[in-house]
Each structure stands twice: as structure tokens, then as C-alpha cells.
Amino acid sequence: MQELTKAEEQIMLIIWQKKKCFVKEILPELPDPKPAYNTVSTIVRILEKKEFVGYEAFGKTHQYFPIISKEEYKNLKTDNLITSFFGGSTSSMLSFFMKEKKMDIKQIDELLKELKK
């Protein structure tokens, strides 16, 4: 699985949220200035080629749905972040967030509880 561009990610977030949708249902969810319908349609077709979405045909129009879950993609992004910026070390990443993002003990406790699940 490959990472998505910012525009692809933005549209994929909408598809994950809606679960099933037509391109015309994606457009209102995008921030202003809204891209053209054809632009969104092209990005959705790219997502299809990348095997992130599938579709069901209704005549000439398609209803799109996610093939890759948001959780699967989140894991890929996290793994890439850890590998690219923290040398594959989760402890280095945690240390960074503790120092740079000034995590307090309560937040660290919550994180540890989540990791134990």
C-alpha cells in the first residue's frame, strides 16, 4: 500500500466518513475554494487505481466505497513516520512528543493504557 497525496487523503477521509458516496456527495464536504467536479472525479479514479476505493456502477455513475480501512492507512502512515523521522524507534518518537509537544503525565498515562489494549 502506498501513501496518498494531500488531495487524495482529503477525499479519502470523506469517503471513510460517508462509507458509500457519489462524487457529487464529496464536493460539499470539501473546503472552499471547492475544486471542480472533474478534479474530484479524477482523484477518486486515482484512488480506485491505487486500490483504496471500489465502486458499484449505477448506469453511468459510480458509488464509491473504501477498500482500505482508515485504521490500515493510519498504521502505514505511522510506520512511515517512525521509520523516516525516528530511525524506526517508537521510544524516540514518544520522547519527541513528550518534549516538543509538552505531553503531561495524564496524557502519557492515557497513551500507555491505549497501548496495553
pTM over the 0.85 mark = no
CB contact at 8 A, 70 and 30: no
- What is the C-alpha separation between 26 and 44, in angstroms, rounded? 10
Q: How confident is the model at residue 82 (pLDDT cuts 50, 70, 90)?
A: confident
Predicted confidence at residue 16, as pLDDT, reads 98
Predicted confidence at residue 102, as pLDDT, reads 76
Q: Do residue 62 and residue 45 come from a single domain? A: yes
CATH number of the domain encompassing residue 24: 1.10.10.10
Q: Do residue 50 and residue 77 come from a single domain? A: no
Q: Which residue has the higher pLDDT, 97 or 62?
A: 62
Domain count across the chain? 2
Q: Do residue 13 and residue 61 come from a single domain? A: yes
- Domain of 17? 6-66
Q: Do residue 59 and residue 76 come from a single domain? A: no
Give the position of cell 510506520: 79
Q: Do residue 55 and residue 76 come from a single domain? A: no
Query: Is 1 contained in some domain?
Result: no
Residue 111 has pLDDT above 80, yes or no: no
Q: Do residue 46 and residue 13 come from a single domain? A: yes
Residue 97 has pLDDT above 80, yes or no: no
CB contact at 8 A, 91 and 81: no
3-state secondary structure of 19: coil
